[in-house]
Amino acid sequence: MTQPPPSERPLDGHVAIVTGGGKGLGRAFALHLAGLGAAVVVNNRNREVDADGLGPADHVVREIEQAGGRAVADHGDVSDPATAEAMVRTALATYGRLDICVTSAAVSSPQLFHKTTPENFGAVLGINVTGTALVCAAALAVMREAGYGRIVMVSSTAGLHGEPTVSAYAASKGAVIALGKTVAVEGSRKGVLTNVLLPYATTQMTGQGMDPRHADQMRADLVAPVVGALASPDCTLNGEVIVTGGGGLRAADDVEWETVLLPESAPLTGPELSRLLDNSRAGQPHTFPEAQAAFQSLAADLA
């Protein structure tokens, strides 16, 4: 990791938590935030350790420190409520504050939906949804009190579009998108901005599924600058869903098209329903900041 000149360190004095920070995207995020000046609590479960008893988070901490940065490791499982509280306590006790929370910890565990076991489905949701929610909630409580914070929830385009063979993962990442949009509305009132990142990157989790034609281009470090920008105090974005990978990005959103009326008398048939949906899509797409606004728009159209 190369330390930027002082004039390019917008996160000097800031403190970040990065879950899943020992490998892949999480590692890239932790290194990048540290390079921008942030002190980082690097979280990663110790599923394997080296001969010295050091796990992935410990090695990332060592990289950050060798580059002149500040970091401390956390080895907790994010699906355990105690882990979220412990990470926040570590940030406050070690560095005196908490400004940034990036939730990158995730598992996939592919299975065809009709063969997915309750145990598998629950384990994926436990890490990806509950783990994200627990960490963000603990961080948000501190940030609201301070009147400032930046949260980046890492989701996936699987949660936006669905993806065969990873139903649990897709469902969990869709939930993270909805959670991020909700927290964005709640947190902004107290100066805490939340955005959702949908990255493409070749990592230990995506390596087998990544199209080999693009694997070399989809480096994790090419996603990290977007996280750095979202974590910056000069960023005012809130509630955004951003797809990024390989040095590019796309804005993403949920949309609803024009309101069309159901027939008043004749039974609604399949072909008629298809026609109505085509008519709706022929109109303008609409986005809404939250569900109540979408409901009020529909109600107004029907009035």
Please enumerate in sequence order all residues whose Cβ is within 8 A of that of 9, keeping only pairs 6 or more positions apart, or say none. 3, 36, 37
Residue tagged active-site, from 95, 148, 169, 200: 169
Question: Pairing relation of β-strands 241-245 and 248-252?
Answer: antiparallel
Please report, for residues 2, 105, 126, 160, 242, the alpha-carbon distance to residue 111 in angstroms, rounded to integers and kept in the order given: 40, 20, 16, 19, 27
Query: What is the distance between the alpha carbons of residues 15 and 138, in angstroms, rounded to a whole number?
Result: 15
Please enumerate in sequence order all residues whose Cβ is within 8 A of that of 82, keeping only pairs 6 or more positions apart, or say none. 76
How many of the other CB atoms lie within 10 Å of CB of 260?
A: 15
No. of H helices and E strands in the chain?
Answer: 10, 8
φ, ψ (nearest 5 deg) of residue 198: -115, 90
Does the annotation count 200 as an active-site position? Answer: no
Query: What is the distance between the alpha carbons of residues 74 and 135, in angstroms, rounded to a whole number?
Result: 13
Q: What's the token pair of residue 15?
A: 């403190």
Looking at the annotation, which residues are catalytic? 169
